[in-house]
Copies of this chain bind each other. A is one copy, B any other.
Amino acid sequence: MTEHGKIDLLIEARWVVPVEPHAVVLEHHAVAVTAGRIVDVLPIAAARARYAARETCRLDEHVLMPGLINAHTHNPMTLMRGIADDLPLMAWLTEHIWPAEARAMSAEFVRDGVELAIAEMLRGGTTCCNENYFFPDVQAGTYKRHGFRALVGLPIMEFPSAWARTRDEYFDKALQVHDEYRGDPLVGTSFAPHAPYTVSNESFERVRMLSDQLDIPVHIHVHETAQEIEDSRREHGVRPMTRLQGLGIVNDHLIAVHMTQLDEAEIRLCAEAGVSVVHCPESNLKLASGFCPTEELRRAGVNIALGTDGCASNNDLDMFGEMRTAALLAKGVARDASAYDAAFALRTATLNAAKTLGWGERIGSIEPGKSADLTAVRLDALETQPVFNVISQLVYACGRHQVSDVWIAGVPKLVAGILVDMDVPALRARAREWGERLRSQG
């Protein structure tokens, strides 16, 4: 708060769901924002008395909540949405996705895919993503240009791509991108060694050393399928998590994505080491990869975040849909209707995801001092009537099209359902062009 209570923005909402404290719904509350940060959360009447806001936004039928955080995605693949569905994993990868990627992969593809994804994410209430793809320099530049918050993975793998040819080149380019965005308020970097089966021990050791020195997360696909476990046993004599542990990778920098195959000792290890697990239920179902034991992980105290994965295996970036799928699926898998309750689902898509990215102090909840990354959702649609429980309604009944307003660091990005600074017809036209190009080469 500045002197005399002058602030930039006062958002008055029918309901505020701050996420922290947990499972709380504040009625008729306001959020005061100045210089991109939340400065206060208080009843509307008190807010009007205390603050002189340069701008006031009234949300009479809305829930105001933290912007959603997609904790695992490959956003350039938005341009491949639906290119190959209903196929077994290996046929999907080797006959469709990899050949299409090999043809399309370029800075231009990555830029256009990320732009389409940003529009989709904003329209769906997502304000931050944990990105994992080639050309992290182009991704980072695109997120920054659009004022979108992202942790950009710096890819590391043992085979050549359009991004880098050798191991050394992957590392050199990774460090260049990291250096360029050091201290950036919106865009950060992580190491993203693709998976245990595509990255050597030597590379993991370099990742471990550098992630310690630079204090950035390590974002890996791990224990995604039973096949991966078997292959690791055959090649390395141990399960992937055991191998990673031996390489020093299993620590509180680790963002372990998928984790559908876990024994009790591994769950305990994750809890003790402070690993964050990113659950991607729709992708795991669509590719028949297995079920992440979210209830056991939660009980063990492991930080669980939620991600959509890329649009080729989902096929959207809809975090409302993902919360719902996660909450429903966990109940079926755990045989317990109280598993992954609505408030927990919302937490995995906000504060837990922020912690996963190393940004738990910066975003993920509506608390004074945090960045004003906010999402407003209209609850007056017939499809969300009547309202008995606001958080249930968000998770079990709401569609992402009910998102009306989105701010990132206090900057409005979506106003009454309209993207502030993106050209929708141009985005649509470019997506269609990519569709034609990918189809004609198919």
A160 within 8 A of B: no
Give the residues in chain B near A120, CB-CB below 8 Å: 382-383
- Chain B residues with Cβ below 8 Å from A385 are 81, 116, 427-428, 431-432, 435
Q: Mark A422-442, 1 if CB is under 8 A from B, else 0.
A: 001001100110111011000
Specify how many copies of this chain sit in the oligomer. Answer: 2
The answer to whether B329 touches A386 (Cβ under 8 A) is no
Interface: A30 (CB within 8 A): no
Stretch in A84-92, A126-134, A348-356 with 4+ CB within 8 Å of B? A84-92
Partner of A393, one of B82, B335, B341, B396: B82
* Complex CA distance for A287 and B84, rounded to whole angstroms: 32
In the complex, whether A165 has a CB less than 8 A from a CB of chain B is no
Residue among A80, A315, A325, A327 facing the most chain B CB atoms (10 A cut-off): A315
> Counting CB contacts under 8 A, is A57 at the interface?
no
Interface 0/1 of A220-241, CB less than 8 Å to B: 0000000000000000000000
Chain B residue numbers with a CB within 8 Å of A86 are: 327, 337-338, 341-342, 392
B82, A288: Cβ atoms under 8 Å? no
In the complex the two chains form, is B432's CB within 8 Å of A382's CB? Answer: no
How long is the Cα–Cα vector from A278 to B442 in the complex, in angstroms? Answer: 38
User: How far does the alpha carbon of A338 sit from the alpha carbon of B383 in the complex, in Å?
Assistant: 32
Q: How far is the CB of A82 from chain B (nearest CB, A)?
A: 4
A198 within 8 A of B: no
Instruction: Determine if A309 is an interface residue (Cβ-Cβ < 8 Å).
Output: no
User: Do B288 and A334 have beta carbons less than 8 Å apart?
Assistant: yes
A204 contacts B by Cβ under 8 Å: no
Binds B, one of A209-217, A263-271, A397-405: A397-405
A389 in the interface, Cβ–Cβ < 8 Å? yes
Taken together as a complex, chains A and B put the C-alpha atoms of A123 and B382 apart, in Å, by 9
In the bound complex, residues from chain B placing their C-beta under 8 Å from that of A401 are 399, 401
Pairwise interchain contact B392-A338, C-beta atoms closer than 8 A: no
Contacts of A438 in B (CB 8 A): 386, 388
Per-residue CB contact flags for chain A residues 255-294 toward chain B (1 = under 8 Å, else 0) read 0000000000000000000000000001011111011000
Question: Which residues of B sit under 8 angstroms from A335, Cβ to Cβ?
Answer: 288, 290
- Distance between Cα atoms of A327 and B88 in the complex (Å): 14
What are the interface flags for A364-397 relative to B under an 8 Å C-beta threshold, 1 for contact and 0 otherwise? 0000000000000000101111111100110011
Please give me the 6 A-B residue pairs with the lowest Cβ-Cβ distance, nearest first: A386-B435, A86-B341, A385-B431, A285-B328, A315-B396, A285-B332
A residues adjacent to B (C-beta < 8 A): 79-89, 92, 116, 119-120, 123-124, 282, 284-288, 290-291, 311, 314-316, 318, 321, 324-325, 327-329, 331-332, 334-339, 341-342, 380, 382-389, 392-393, 396-397, 399-401, 424, 427-428, 431-432, 434-436, 438-439
A-B contact sample (17 more), CB < 8 A, given A382-B428, A385-B432:
A81-B384, A81-B386, A81-B393, A82-B386, A84-B388, A85-B396, A116-B385, A119-B382, A123-B382, A284-B332, A285-B328, A288-B335, A314-B396, A315-B396, A385-B428, A386-B432, A387-B432
A–B Cβ pairs within 8 angstroms, 15 of them: A81-B397, A82-B392, A82-B396, A82-B397, A124-B383, A285-B331, A287-B331, A288-B332, A290-B332, A321-B321, A325-B325, A382-B427, A386-B434, A388-B435, A399-B399
